[in-house]
Amino acid sequence: MAFDEELASRIRDILTGKTDFTEKKMFGGLAFLVGGNMAVSASGHGGMLLRADPEQSDELCSHAGVERAVMRGREMDGWLRVADDAIASEEELERWVQVGVDYASSLPPK
C-alpha cells in the first residue's frame, strides 16, 4: 500500500515554517524528520506513524484511534499508529504532529 499523499501534504503544511524538517521515504511511508529523528510519517499502512516519549505510550494510547505500532511482531512503546479517523480535523492532526515533533526535538540530532 502506498502512503496517503494527501495526509503527507497536510503534515507538510503544518511543519512548513514551524521547524526545520526533512522528508524521507522509510517504513513504507513518507517520514518527516526533525534533526534527523523521525517525528511522524504518512504511513504506508494507512493513517500516521508517530514517535512519542515511550513513557507516555499508555496515556497516548488511551485516545480513540491510537495504538502501539507492531514491529516484527512486537508492540513498541514510543511508536504509535494513529488512525485516519483520529486525525480527520486539522486540529487533531496538528495535535498529534506536535507530539511527534516535541519528542524528535528532544533527541540528539543525527
Residue 19 pLDDT greater than 90, yes or no: no
| 3-state SS assignment for residue 88 | coil
**Per-residue pLDDT for 26 more than 80?**
yes
Q: How much is the pLDDT for 2?
A: 79
Residue whose C-alpha is closest to residue 28's, from 52, 4, 57? 4
pTM: 0.93
Instruction: Answer positive or negative: Cα dihedral of 15, 20, 24, 27.
Output: negative
- Give residue 107's region: left, alpha or beta (phi > 0; psi -120 to 50): beta
Q: What is the pLDDT of residues 31-82, one digit of tens each?
A: 999 999 999 999 988 899 999 999 999 999 999 999 999 988 999 999 999 9
Short-list 91, 3, 89, CA closest to 49: 3
Residue found by looking up cell 507492531 in the block = 70
Kindly report which listed range (69-73, 87-91, 94-98) carries the lowest average pLDDT score.
69-73
Do residues 52 and 7 lie in contact, with contact meaning Cβ atoms separated by under 8 Å? no
The predicted pLDDT at position 20 comes to 85
What average pLDDT is seen over the chain?
A: 94
Q: Tell me, what's the pLDDT at 1?
A: 58
